[in-house]
């Protein structure tokens, strides 16, 4: 999703775009994770787009490919993205997330060390440590009781001494390596520690893609599973277009070895219960769900990003898609992708 959105934005900004993707998401998540529809959409939108069916774990092939392209900018969005799935495939997870990222970094260092290198990291690098922040329970959500976190989690928050999940650990390894290539080799690198990155082009599945999958369940009248915390767990959601805008801002003004917490912030946060209510209002369908007392291992009870550092470094960037608009676009997208599922979207 982020890769295709950034490709479209870079292409419309005058860049020639080369994409590397072997549709491994379909292997990780089955047919529902297949991203070929997104590739077809991208190639239609960008006639000059060039695609390479290459696995980033293929070190020699990747080194040769990056050397041949010699890119001006590298945006690394490839990952095994599910902390649930990672536990069943720890080698594939680490080889993709950690080793694959090292392959990308070294390819960049050898071929184009001056090119801005943007890595999509994750807020899971903080493990479950955010759960130690005192919380207050509200009717539909949890929220931070400690005023130091009234605007969310800052980049100074510790990533140590916490449970990360296998996925979180592999992403920590990648995150630190991206920082190190920036600091040790002086390369213009950054890690974007994403919250819930979403939008209409997401192939949401149960193990990854919170809002997209929730909306799909509502439209198809599937049962959605709520894992613990009374359904009041909170996530901040950011539209893929707003992510793309920040990536472009970094490419225009790169820095070495930086990290940024990138989500929708407090204004674009919602709980599962609140997401149910919004989707039901938009589609007119009740949300079918089952509640399970056991939460997912290492899952956050409440997480939203403090965007202060981003605003300081990139004062012209801001969230342009409010949460309601994000919901509306996702509902409309699934309606278009699921023929025979009429949905009346109420915009306001």
118-135 pLDDT, tens digit each: 999 999 999 999 999 999
167-180 pLDDT, tens digit each: 999 999 999 999 99
- Which of the four pLDDT bands, split at 50, 70 and 90, describes residue 203? low
Segment among 34-38, 226-230, 311-315 with least mean pLDDT: 34-38
* Whole-number Å distance between alpha carbons of 255 and 323: 30
Q: Of all helices (H) and strands (E), which one includes residue 62? A: helix 59-69
* Whole-number Å distance between alpha carbons of 270 and 158: 24
- Which of the four pLDDT bands, split at 50, 70 and 90, describes residue 205? low
Q: What is the distance between the terminal CA atoms of the chain, rounded to a whole angstrom?
A: 26
* Whole-number Å distance between alpha carbons of 131 and 75: 31
Contact status, residue 3 vs residue 77, Cβ threshold 8 Å: yes
* Whole-number Å distance between alpha carbons of 123 and 242: 17
Both tokens of residue 62? Answer: 């990747």
Q: Please give the average per-residue pLDDT across 75-98, as a whole number.
A: 92
Pick the CATH number of 2-337 from 3.40.50.1970, 3.40.50.720, 3.40.50.2300, 3.40.50.150: 3.40.50.720
**Token pair 């901040």 is at which residue?**
236
Segment among 16-25, 122-131, 153-162 with least mean pLDDT: 16-25
39-80 pLDDT, tens digit each: 888 888 898 999 999 999 999 999 999 999 999 999 999 999
* pLDDT greater than 70 at residue 340: no
* pLDDT greater than 70 at residue 344: no
Give the residue from 58, 51, 67, 141 showing the smallest Cα distance to 107: 67
239-289 pLDDT, tens digit each: 999 999 999 999 999 999 999 999 999 999 999 999 999 999 999 999 999
Q: Is 55 exposed, middle or buried (0-12, 13-18, 19+ CB in 10 A)?
A: middle
Helix (H, G, I), strand (E, B) or coil at 134: coil
Spacing of C-alpha 283 from chain mean position: 25
| CB within 8 Å of 139: residues ≥ 6 apart | none
Averaged pLDDT of the chain: 92
For residue 207, what pLDDT is reported?
56
Contact status, residue 7 vs residue 44, Cβ threshold 8 Å: no
| CB within 8 Å of 48: residues ≥ 6 apart | 11, 16, 17
Q: Provide, rounded to the nearest whole percent, the portion of the chain with pLDDT above 90.
A: 77
Long-range contacts of 312-318 (CB under 8 A, 24+ apart): 313/253, 313/255, 313/258, 313/260, 314/246, 314/249, 314/250, 314/253, 316/249, 317/245, 317/246, 317/249
- Decide which of 239 and 205 is more confident: 239
* Whole-number Å distance between alpha carbons of 13 and 116: 16
* pLDDT greater than 50 at residue 225: yes
For residue 348, what pLDDT is reported?
42
Domain ranges, ordered by start, for the chain: 2-337
- Which of the four pLDDT bands, split at 50, 70 and 90, describes residue 339? low
Both tokens of residue 317? Answer: 């960037």
Q: Please give the average per-residue pLDDT across 87-103, as a whole number.
A: 96
Predicted model pTM: 0.91
């Amino acid at each position: 999703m982020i890769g295709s959105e950034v490709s479209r934005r870079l292409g419309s900004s005058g860049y020639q775009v080369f994409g590397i993707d072997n549709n491994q998401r379909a292997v990780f998540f089955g047919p529902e994770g297949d991203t070929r529809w997104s590739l077809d959409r991208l190639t239609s939108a960008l006639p000059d787009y060039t695609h390479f069916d290459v696995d980033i774990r293929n070190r020699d092939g990747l080194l040769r490919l990056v050397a041949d392209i010699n890119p001006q900018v590298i945006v690394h969005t490839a990952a095994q993205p599910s902390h649930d799935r990672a536990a069943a495939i720890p080698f594939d997870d680490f080889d993709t997330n950690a080793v694959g990222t090292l392959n990308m970094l070294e390819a960049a260092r050898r071929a184009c060390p001056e090119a801005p290198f943007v890595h999509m990291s994750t807020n899971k690098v903080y493990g479950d440590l955010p759960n130690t922040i005192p919380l207050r329970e509200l009717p539909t959500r949890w929220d931070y009781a400690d005023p130091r976190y009234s605007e969310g989690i800052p980049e100074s928050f510790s990533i140590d001494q916490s449970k990360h999940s296998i996925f979180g650990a592999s992403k920590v390894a990648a995150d630190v390596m991206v920082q190190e290539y920036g600091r040790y080799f002086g390369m213009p690198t950054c890690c974007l520690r994403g919250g819930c990155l979403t939008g209409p082009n997401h192939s949401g599945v149960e193990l990854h893609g919170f809002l997209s999958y929730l909306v799909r369940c509502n439209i198809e009248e599937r049962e959605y599973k709520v894992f613990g915390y009374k359904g009041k767990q909170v996530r901040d959601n950011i539209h893929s277009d707003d992510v793309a805008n920040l990536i472009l801002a970094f490419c225009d003004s790169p820095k070495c070895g930086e990290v940024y917490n990138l989500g929708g912030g407090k204004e674009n946060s919602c709980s599962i219960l609140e997401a149910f209510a919004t989707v039901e209002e938009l589609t007119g369908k009740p949300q079918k769900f089952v509640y399970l007392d056991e939460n997912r291992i290492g899952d956050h009870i409440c997480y939203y990003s403090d965007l202060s550092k981003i605003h300081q470094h990139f004062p012209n960037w801001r969230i342009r898609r409010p949460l309601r608009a994000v919901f509306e676009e996702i509902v409309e997208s699934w309606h278009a992708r699921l023929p025979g599922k009429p949905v009346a979207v109420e915009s306001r």
